[in-house]
A and B are shown apart, each in its own frame.
Chain A
Amino acid sequence: MRYDSVTDVIGGTPLVRIDAAVHGLRNIDLFAKMELFNPFGSVKDRAAWNMVRHRLAGAAERAETVVELSSGNTAKALAVIAGMHGLPFRSVTNRMRVPEIKDLLLLLGAQIDELPGQSECLDPTDTDDPLTRMYHTVSAAGGGYLHTDQYFNDLNVEAHVRGTGPEIIADLDGRAPDYFIACVGTAGSSTGVARVLREHDPEVTVVGLVAEKADFIPGIRDIDEVHEVGLFDPDVYDTIEAVSSDEAIDGLLTLVRRCGTLAGPTGGGAYQGAVRYLRRLDAGLTGRRTAVFIVCDRVESYMSYLRERRPALFQQPDRTHSVRTLTAEDLAATRTIGVSDAQEWIAKENPLVVDLRSPFAYRALHIDRSINIVDDLFAEMLHGGLPFGRRQPVLLVCPVGEKSASYAALLTRMGHPDVRSLAGGVIAWRDAGAELVRD
């Protein structure tokens, strides 16, 4: 297929059946609306494009900056679109909590502003919170901003009234599904789709999913936060249910491992929330029913999130040459050397002095003629074997002599005959009045 602009590729995403052997529902056909196929990677491409496309020309004339309060997919899509039109993009957020998205936004040339945390010593008369102040700044007319205001902007809903909703009906041969399940962030996608489905068939059941309170699923709100969303109208949903990040990850794993769908956490949450909801009805059904949920975005951006919550998924077997495998005997065999003996040894035998501290600290002050290999890097080097010959004596130093002792033990175990660790480390060296230099 040929397009003139990548923005023409937005929308028109497929509706894909989830294998009944996976979801286990007997009377319900479950379909995923594959929003992860949008060109910038998520359902938010639709909203972002719809909110700015009529305003880009004017913004370019006035040299405005596109701005949005977003730390996720909306920011990503807007950054791309702004870049295509030569406009700067600024993302304002309380916290950039997903490092991959942060890096991607920086890569796209976005400016990211993280708002300050709450005051520790509260001044309750100060009602002027940073978010409200920022909101006023970017919303002021003539202030140099094109503020897309996704939580309050009807064009966000309209993107789905025109696109997502009708596409679902068309793909179900002109029928609305019996159940529609979606995660709620700005409420734009769920509200827009629900409106179209209901107009078609008032009997549709709409399930909104939010995160459990004090839990975190990137992209969606928790049960209290949804009330801060201007587009959120509780009457749109027949029911609002909470999903935990644990459930979202379970769902994500099912989708990526068994369904060939590389969904992110909210896709997983929508799947898990849908199956949980539908399972309760399934047994009591007599005829066939259809359900649709949204897969909002892709898994690749959430590796740190997954690693933090499910480290077991990424576990690597321990490597052999690692300080973690040292035994008490290995450690007992370490040779340590005090400051004055070390000075003598250096003068006499000229051992290689390896300073394991950070380059930053090494640069400020170090033992003369020592070389700097920061411990992380040294650990990497040792995985491959001894990094220096056996006839080369080595003195390892670190701040207090603890890390150097374990690396000395490891090198000894690896067969090096003369590695020593500076007892008490560079701190003992300094406190003994021995010379430290800055090159």
Chain B
Amino acid sequence: MAPKLQPRVDGDLGSLLDSAAFLHQIVDALGSPLNVVLPDQLARNVQGFRDVYQARHLGGGIFFAHKANRSRALIRALAATEAGIDVASLAELQHALGAGFGLDRIMATGPKSREFLWLAARAGVIVNADSTTELTELAGIVAAYRLPRVRLMARLSGFASTGTNVMTRASRFGVPAARLATLWETLEKHQDQVEFLGVAYHLDTVGLPEKAVALEGCLHAMDEAQQRGLRPRAIDIGGGFGVSYLDDGRQWEAWTSELTGAVLGKRPPITWNGHGYGLRNEGGTVRGTLSVYPAHRTTSGPAYLDRLLGTESAAQRRALGTLLLDSLYDLHVEPGRALLDQCGAVLMRVEDVRDDLVRVAGNSADVALEQHGVLMDPVLVPRGAPAGSEPAGVYLAGNLCLEADLLTRRQVYLPARPRPGDLLVFVNTAGYLMDFSAGNALMQPTARTVAARRDRGGWRWCLDDQYWPVTGREETG
């Protein structure tokens, strides 16, 4: 049988799993698949990041990267905290404005359409410009409509390292760090339209050294800006702080070892059709690279941020966080996945069980484990008494009637063989894995989302759209 990969479950998410009757009730009422989000947890995660700031005496904004989840409840709950929001589309901006974020707390990122730029400028949110061309376009809109000066961050990319050559995947975004002169000229030219706040980066990598190089590059860019007489005050280091999905690192090690063994044909496959997740067997030697999310991480989320800030700058021989503080700069971050750690789950009903194949009411777009390469077992919540205590290794098939529609190509481990009517709970899926790419192929229903919060030992829930932070009990409170 395939080795287990048990998910890490903390706090509210843990007690949700203990509330089997409640989970069955909401799936009976609203159908499968069903997304559950936990807005209260999001607020706690914001505090986790803030604690890192405080320990290092740093100021600046924690901007949640909205793209990681579209739930209204999560955004509205976030608006009730001190956090900001990073919006990457016109609709996300509208969503954020409607949820009650103040203008200092909204940062528009990514490449932007004209309409997106217009609304951002008109509303007066912070614009994180993706290129010099976009900056010029924004300035044009501000001038044409006589709008107030827009506060602006400039995203950079392609930083050079010192000592060793720290390579990084080429990014399609940002102003090349080697071409800053054009940026400064454009900023000077449009001084009446934009107020320059500072520089930014976002790197899609788990690699800390690359981010350290980028942060150091930003410090140098800020210095250059100062020399040109600009007065920037903040550096935005984007997201990518990561989540550790598994409870026990040894399970991850064991599973990856077994996969290596399976690829070499030394043990029966532990994946559908012997899929190697990027590894292949060439004459008895394993080639390729395991292409999945590192499901167990020793440093992720706020701890990763702290590690980055504690990394020494190669040139200054001083911790990057200390250099930021020395320079009196604010630090902005845009975590998506990390802020949603433990903030939700996807529930699916078991339809049919045949040999080692379990078919569920939902598909691989409803819980994007495979698409995002996150490997972990679902949690079985039986409908009645458990079917026995014999563990089972099974494959999970979806409702799309396609050979390829497996929720994960990994054989998952369940503590007992499921029966039709049982629930499989895909926990900790709020970040990217929940509704990032849900569609309605075959006219299968897309999941509804409910927001749940603990209330005096029980659970209160409402449809995502009905959630607002106010509970109606404020006067007595």
- The chain B residue with its CB closest to the CB of A113 is B165
Cβ distance A169 to chain B, nearest Cβ, rounded Å: 29
Which of chain B's residues have a CB closer than 8 A to the CB of A361? 323, 326-328
**Chain A residues numbered 53-75 whose CB sits less than 8 Å from any CB in chain B:** none
A398 and B56 CA atoms in complex are apart in Å by: 13
**Chain A residues numbered 382-402 whose CB sits less than 8 Å from any CB in chain B:** 398-400, 402
In the assembled complex, B253 has its CB within 8 A of some CB on chain A: yes
Cross-chain contact of A96 among B164, B253, B256 (Cβ < 8 A): B164
Q: Is the CB of A364 within 8 A of B257?
A: no
Q: Is the CB of B322 within 8 A of A358?
A: yes
A427 and B337 CA atoms in complex are apart in Å by: 32
- Of B44-52, B86-94, B367-375, B397-405, the one with at least 4 CB within 8 A of chain A: B367-375
Which of chain A's residues have a CB closer than 8 A to the CB of B264? 227
Q: Is the CB of B289 within 8 A of A120?
A: no
- Interface residues as binary, B282-293 with A (CB distance below 8 Å gives 1, 0 otherwise): 001111110111
**Taking A115-B167, A116-B167, A120-B205 as contacts, is the C-beta distance between A399 and B328 under 8 angstroms?**
yes
Cross-chain contact of B287 among A96, A117, A228, A357 (Cβ < 8 A): A228
Q: Is the CB of A116 within 8 A of B169?
A: yes
Q: How large is the interface on B (under 10, 10 to 19, 20 to 34, 35 or more residues)?
A: 35 or more
Q: How large is the interface on A (under 10, 10 to 19, 20 to 34, 35 or more residues)?
A: 35 or more
- The chain A residue with its CB closest to the CB of B315 is A360
Q: Is the CB of B322 within 8 A of A129?
A: no
Cβ distance B251 to chain A, nearest Cβ, rounded Å: 12
In the assembled complex, A327 has its CB within 8 A of some CB on chain B: no
Cβ distance B208 to chain A, nearest Cβ, rounded Å: 7
Q: Is the CB of B288 within 8 A of A113?
A: no
- Interface residues as binary, B232-276 with A (CB distance below 8 Å gives 1, 0 otherwise): 000000011010000001000100110010001000000000000
In the assembled complex, A283 has its CB within 8 A of some CB on chain B: no
Which of chain A's residues have a CB closer than 8 A to the CB of B328? 361, 365, 399, 426-427, 430
Q: Is the CB of B206 within 8 A of A358?
A: no
Cβ distance B238 to chain A, nearest Cβ, rounded Å: 10
Cβ distance B128 to chain A, nearest Cβ, rounded Å: 18
**Taking A118-B207, A122-B291, A213-B257 as contacts, is the C-beta distance between A113 and B370 under 8 angstroms?**
no
In the assembled complex, A285 has its CB within 8 A of some CB on chain B: no
Q: Is the CB of A117 within 8 A of B206?
A: yes
A224 and B242 CA atoms in complex are apart in Å by: 24
Q: Is the CB of B164 within 8 A of A360?
A: no
**Chain B residues numbered 109-149 whose CB sits less than 8 Å from any CB in chain A:** none
A121 and B88 CA atoms in complex are apart in Å by: 16
Cross-chain contact of B205 among A118, A214, A358, A362 (Cβ < 8 A): A118
Cross-chain contact of B288 among A127, A229, A398, A400 (Cβ < 8 A): A127
Q: Is the CB of B204 within 8 A of A132?
A: no
- Interface residues as binary, B314-327 with A (CB distance below 8 Å gives 1, 0 otherwise): 00101000110111
In the assembled complex, A95 has its CB within 8 A of some CB on chain B: yes
Cross-chain contact of A358 among B208, B291, B326 (Cβ < 8 A): B326
Q: Is the CB of A116 within 8 A of B210?
A: yes
Q: List 13 A-B contacts (CB under 8 A).
A: A113-B165, A117-B210, A119-B204, A122-B293, A122-B373, A127-B278, A132-B287, A227-B285, A233-B284, A360-B219, A361-B323, A363-B223, A399-B326
- Chain B interface (Cβ < 8 Å from any Cβ of A): 57, 163-169, 204-210, 219, 222-223, 226, 239-240, 242, 249, 253, 256-257, 260, 264, 278, 284-289, 291-294, 316, 318, 322-323, 325-328, 337, 370-373, 432
Top-9 shortest CB links A-B: A117-B207, A361-B326, A357-B326, A112-B164, A129-B289, A361-B327, A122-B373, A120-B240, A117-B205
- Chain A interface (Cβ < 8 Å from any Cβ of B): 95-96, 102, 106, 111-122, 124, 126-127, 129-132, 213-214, 223-224, 227-230, 232-233, 357-365, 374, 376, 398-400, 402, 426-427, 430, 438
Instruction: List 8 extra interface pairs beyond A120-B205, A120-B206, CB under 8 A.
Output: A116-B167, A120-B240, A224-B257, A227-B264, A358-B326, A358-B327, A399-B326, A438-B226
